[in-house]
Amino acid sequence: MPVLVVGSVALDSVETPFGKREEILGGSATYFSMAASFFSPVRVVAVVGEDFPDAHLTMLTNRGVDLSGLVKRPGRTFRWKGRYTAQQLNEAQTLDTQLNVFEQFEPELPEPYRATPFVFLGNIDPVLQAKVLDQVAKPMLVAADTMNFWIRGKLDDLKKTLSRVDLLFVNDAEARELAGESNVVRAVRRIMDLGPKTVAVKRGEYGALLFHGEKVFSAPAFPLADVYDPTGAGDSFAGGFMGYLARCGVVTDEHLRRATIMGSVMASFAVEGFSMDRVKLLTEPEINTRFGSFRALTQFEELSPGPLRQAG
Ligand code: AMP
């Protein structure tokens, strides 16, 4: 089944302990689409400026991503500048955000997009996220992502959007900030009160926790010696997760668990290179092998029989 994504398509300038890159392809919708495209047809709703290189669009179409909902408008493309330090690789320090063409953007879904069963509201103004929801007919699953920029700047609008969302992807610091609660489990409960009954908490190199009603599932992160660029890990996680779920076409506890692992698989590839450098070269056998490695990471036998030692 297809997945619809609204989010940013960006030119990023990024600094990590491995180097510096200027104006590389980024954006929440871009990372999401690349990851999800391995599993399901992807439909993008976004805007770019006149300065956006056509080569980037070609790369996405070559992966089968439907760009009929991506418009080019007069002005400059969305830009984001961020830095990661060796001490703090899990969280970007935002140095600059230029909304540019996103400031005037009014998303309009092409007719065939409106019946898409799986919808992902990528990290973008919550008002725009809601405008996309207004145009889709009864999706099977509505998921969303957000970040501190919108939690701080548009909290009321974000809460309105969240009341219409089934699944929220959020990193742990943002979950705490959104809920005003320092314990992650309690923060998730408060977020569930706002709407989403499933919450995926991304914890960078510590993996992810999936809260689904009363149930909790924990996925590790793939232990990597070299994290080149953490940008896009969250959106690639969401892309792998949603793409996999849409491919299955059902949302059960068991599918959500496997989706969490597939999200972790795609995030682990995304951080192995700057921008889409690694993911654009990815093959199916590589994805399957890493999925297997994730199983092996947490597989262990039952406790051997025999009583434990008694006190005294
Ligand atoms: P993440 O997966 O969380 O690392 O998201 C990475 C992408 O989010 C980057 O490629 C940025 O272009 C994009 N981004 C950063 N800030 C914003 C924002 N305020 N709104 C929309 N997209 C953003």
| pLDDT band (50, 70, 90) for residue 88 | confident
Output the pLDDT for position 39. 98
Output the pLDDT for position 305. 81
The share of the chain scoring above pLDDT 70, in percent, equals 100
- Torsion, CA 273, CA 94, CA 12, CA 26, rounded to 10: 60
Mean pLDDT, residues 29-53: 98
Residues 139-163 as b or e (16 or more Cβ within 10 Å = b): bebbbbbbbebbbeebeebbebbbe
The per-residue pLDDT for range 117-153, each reduced to its tens digit, is: 999 999 999 999 999 999 999 999 999 999 999 999 9
Q: Are 245 and 253 in contact (CB under 8 A)?
A: no
Question: Which residue has a Cα nearest atom 15 of ligand 1?
Answer: 80
Please name which of 223, 241, 239, 231 lies closest in space to residue 276, comparing C-alpha atoms: 231
Rounded Cα–Cα distance for residues 165 and 10 (Å): 24
Ligand 1 centroid, distance to 311 Cα (angstroms)? 55
| pLDDT band (50, 70, 90) for residue 306 | confident
Output the pLDDT for position 40. 98
Ligand 1 centroid, distance to 146 Cα (angstroms)? 9
Question: Which residue has a Cα nearest atom 9 of ligand 1?
Answer: 27
Q: Which tokens sit at 97?
A: 């955000």
Q: What are residue 43's DSSP bridge partners?
A: 4, 66
Ligand 1 centroid, distance to 185 Cα (angstroms)? 25
Residue 288 has pLDDT above 90, yes or no: yes
Q: What ligand 1 atom has the least distance to the C-alpha of 12?
A: 12
Residue 244 has pLDDT above 90, yes or no: yes
The per-residue pLDDT for range 89-125, each reduced to its tens digit, is: 888 999 999 999 999 999 999 999 999 999 999 999 9
Q: Are 11 and 97 in contact (CB under 8 A)?
A: no
226 vs 72 pLDDT, higher one? 72
Pocket test for ligand 1, best of 9, 84, 123 (most atoms within 8 A of CB): 123
Residue 302 has pLDDT above 90, yes or no: no
Ligand 1 centroid, distance to 234 Cα (angstroms)? 9
Ligand 1 centroid, distance to 307 Cα (angstroms)? 52
Residue 307 has pLDDT above 90, yes or no: no
Who lines ligand 1 at CB under 6 A? Answer: 8, 10, 12, 26-28, 31, 80, 97, 123-124, 147, 149, 231-235
Rounded Cα–Cα distance for residues 160 and 262 (Å): 29
Question: Which residue has a Cα nearest atom 20 of ligand 1?
Answer: 124
Pocket test for ligand 1, best of 33, 84, 147, 202 (most atoms within 8 A of CB): 147
The per-residue pLDDT for range 157-214, each reduced to its tens digit, is: 999 999 999 999 999 999 999 999 999 999 999 999 999 999 999 999 999 999 998 9
Pocket test for ligand 1, best of 9, 12, 28, 275 (most atoms within 8 A of CB): 28
Mean pLDDT, residues 51-67: 98
Ligand 1 centroid, distance to 268 Cα (angstroms)? 17
Question: Which residue has a Cα nearest atom 16 of ligand 1?
Answer: 80
Ligand 1 centroid, distance to 28 Cα (angstroms)? 5
Mean pLDDT, residues 285-290: 98
Task: Residue 255: count other Cβ atoms within 10 Å of its Cβ.
Answer: 15
Region label for 207, one of left (φ > 0), alpha (ψ between -120 and 50) or beta (otherwise): left
| pLDDT band (50, 70, 90) for residue 303 | confident
Residue 80's SS3 state is: strand
Q: What ligand 1 atom has the least distance to the C-alpha of 92?
A: 4
Question: Which residue has a Cα nearest atom 12 of ligand 1?
Answer: 27
Residue 308 has pLDDT above 90, yes or no: no
Output the pLDDT for position 212. 96
Q: Which tokens sit at 52?
A: 């956006």
Residue 132's SS3 state is: helix
Rounded Cα–Cα distance for residues 258 and 45 (Å): 27
Mean pLDDT of all residues belonging to the chain: 96
Ligand 1 centroid, distance to 27 Cα (angstroms)? 5
Ligand 1 centroid, distance to 100 Cα (angstroms)? 14
Q: What are residue 142's DSSP bridge partners?
A: 119
Q: Are 144 and 161 in contact (CB under 8 A)?
A: yes
